[in-house]
Structure 1
Amino acid sequence: MAISEVKICNLALRKLGARLIESLSDSSQEAVTCNLFYEQVRDAVLRDHPWNFAASRCRLAKLAQAPAFGFSFQYQVPVDCIHLRQLNRSDDEFVVEGDKILTNVDSAFAIYTGKVTNPVLFDSSFVMAFAARLAAEIADDITGSSTKAREMWTLYLNAMQSARLADSAEGREDEILNDPWLEARGISGIDSPVWRA
């Protein structure tokens, strides 16, 4: 069966031991809570990792007015951009300010994470990470248990670690040894238990 918004929500609810839903428009607490968090959590998980399935490339639209200082050019952020990964070359300097990209690169192209909303296009690793993050975010509302929420956050971090490994085997090598978010939770580097045989 094809993946859907309801199926992702039910994966999250199952992890919490909660009742499953038939539709996001149900009046149950589970459906209302999933509906409230779904889009924000999806976009947060898209931002947390440079997913191959969500990668997009485009020529950026240069704006007529240059930045007041610091950079020579400014461009419009693509409307579907969730996270700007790089410009023409990986070492091109840029900053994102509001809906503008400031850089010294003339005729800039961009690689970015696009806002993929169709669940059918989601990578299976993304689905598992998304469901775990959704479970973590809704755990308090659904179960009233902060312990369950912590368990789901751990599950999410593990799912993201697996996704990084899977994505790196598909043509791009992501930096996984010095991720400050994972280091703060004691799960990074080759000396981590995750990496030990």
Structure 2
Amino acid sequence: MSSDIEICNVALSRVAVTKSIVSFTERSKEAEQCRVFYTSLRDLVLQAFPWPFAESIVALADLGSPVNGWAYRYRYPASCLKVRDIVQPGWRRALTSDQQIPFQIGYDAGGRVIHTDQPEASCRFTFRVEDSTFFDPQFADVLAWRMAMDLALPLSSKPELQQFAAQQYQMALTIAEGSAFEEGQDDPEPESEFVSVRS
């Protein structure tokens, strides 16, 4: 379990900054730079991958009056950072490429909307997680490397540190992705009609 400040201090140490911070509001260059980058980079890393701890499925609110080319128009979910899939109600399984339902993000006077042809659509999405006590350890590690990428130049003026942090970020993200796929079990594939008829 990591705090925002602990993640920032790990990021600082990864770019050879030995001075740690105790809050975002303290008067130091390190705290100022962390304050500038932290929130936007946290959201960027959440968007980078469907992290299990930040994933939800909700039924979408039908707004009616669909635009040309689409059968339905739904309100974009609150606190959503990235729509992953449009799914049918009650659908839990990961979608294969041939099962994916087409959709498009648009805007109206009330904010973002989702256009699709799916009736009674639900949405699998990544939501904004602001409380760092909910971060899993691998996400905190990936976020610290992503922070290190942006802190390297303003705090160390060493481009090679930024390049190193970028490589480590990609490596940590790949490891986290692999680990996340091991933390769940889909329903078994249904038998084909051909197998059912034979038995």
What TM-score comes out, normalization by structure 1 length? 0.83
Residue 26 (structure 1) aligned with residue 39 (structure 2): no
Match of 2:51 in 1: 51
Cα offset, 1:92, TM superposition: 1.0
Match of 1:140 in 2: 153
Residue 119 (structure 1) aligned with residue 115 (structure 2): no
The code of the aligned residue for 1:92 comes to: I
The code of the aligned residue for 2:73 comes to: Q
Residue 84 (structure 1) aligned with residue 90 (structure 2): no
4+ residue runs over 2 A deviation? none
Paired residues, number: 171
What TM-score comes out, normalization by structure 2 length? 0.83
Structure 2 SS opposite 1:107: coil
Structure-2 separation of matches of 1:30 and 1:172: 42
- Rg larger for: 2
**Where does the alignment leave 5 or more consecutive residues of structure 2 unmatched?**
89-94, 187-199
Give the alignment of 1:1-197 within 5 angstroms. Answer: 2-18=1-17, 19-67=19-67, 69-88=68-87, 90=95, 91-98=100-107, 99-171=112-184
Greater relative contact order (Cα < 8 A, sep 6+): 2
Cα offset, 1:146, TM superposition: 1.4
Contact 2:2–2:137 (8 Å) recurs in 1: no
Cα offset, 1:137, TM superposition: 1.2
Cα offset, 1:35, TM superposition: 0.3
**Where does the alignment leave 5 or more consecutive residues of structure 1 unmatched?**
174-197
